[in-house]
Amino acid sequence: MITADLSKKRSLVTGGASGIGLATTELFARCGAKVAMNDLSGNPNLEREVQRLQEDGLDVIAAPGNVGDAEDCKRMVTQAIADLGGLDHLINNAGTPGTKSPIPLSDLEAVDEELWGRIMDVNLLGAYLCARTAAKALKDGGGAIVNTASQAGLTGMGSSLAYAVSKAGLINLTRSLARGLAPEVRVNCIAPGMVDSPWECRFPGYDSPDRGEIVPLKMV
């Protein structure tokens, strides 16, 4: 398990109630950080996971809100910073595939304007809104932003055309923010491939024993 001393550090993790976001929240908290876990208001996972981590002695608080809604996002980030007493880390992890199952890239008609907008609002606009709202607090403490992109943003392949485009945009948003917020704030992104999660199991061949052969580490 990765270990680091994050004592006295304050972190906001969006999309933190499941998957990569939950793993990040728990890791940061176990390394000593005080973490605000964001997810949609009303998501039962949010309160359940916050309670679980608190009962384990970790300093985790809930930060409900929709990052894809400008006003709600600003409110959520502002409140999280106040509750944490400042901010050292912003993990822009919130994301959505927008659909219940993958859409073939060739099926352009299936990606209408509403679906396109919903995916972009959460995956791309949300990251920008969070960064914009958190920028001053991060600059004050010499903080860092990490955006969760995807291999879809590098390859053009993913759960849908709109999803791949949103993640490509997030990668370039990372580059632009890194320039715009330097030198006070460091901005980076990760681009995961297949991750063991309820969403990934919807892809054909998810449980194939040969999945690991397509990645350099030969493991998933």
Map out the domains of the chain as residue ranges: 10-214
Give the H/E segment covering residue 25: helix 19-30
User: Pick from 211, 207, 180: which is nearest to 193 by CA?
Assistant: 211
Percentage of the chain lying above the pLDDT 90 cut:
85
Residue 197 CB coordination number (10 Å)? 12
The class of domain 10-214 in CATH terms is alpha beta
Peptide linkage before 183 cis (omega within 30 of 0): yes
What are the strands, taking DSSP E only, across the chain? 10-13, 34-39, 60-64, 89-92, 144-148, 186-190
Find the mean pLDDT for residues 131-144. 98
pLDDT of residue 198: 58
The model's pLDDT over 72-130, given as tens digits with 9 standing for 90+, comes to: 999 999 999 999 999 999 999 999 999 999 999 999 999 999 999 999 999 999 999 99
Contact present, 53 and 115 (Cβ < 8 Å)? no
- Axis-axis angle for helices 126-141, 161-181 (nearest 10): 20
| Beta partners for residue 186, in sequence order | 144
Percentage of the chain lying above the pLDDT 70 cut:
88
pLDDT of residue 148: 99
Residues tagged active-site: 163
- Separation in Å, CA 120 to CA 83, 102, 163: 28, 16, 8
Q: What letter would DSSP give residue 100?
A: S
Residue 198 CB coordination number (10 Å)? 8
Contact present, 16 and 24 (Cβ < 8 Å)? yes
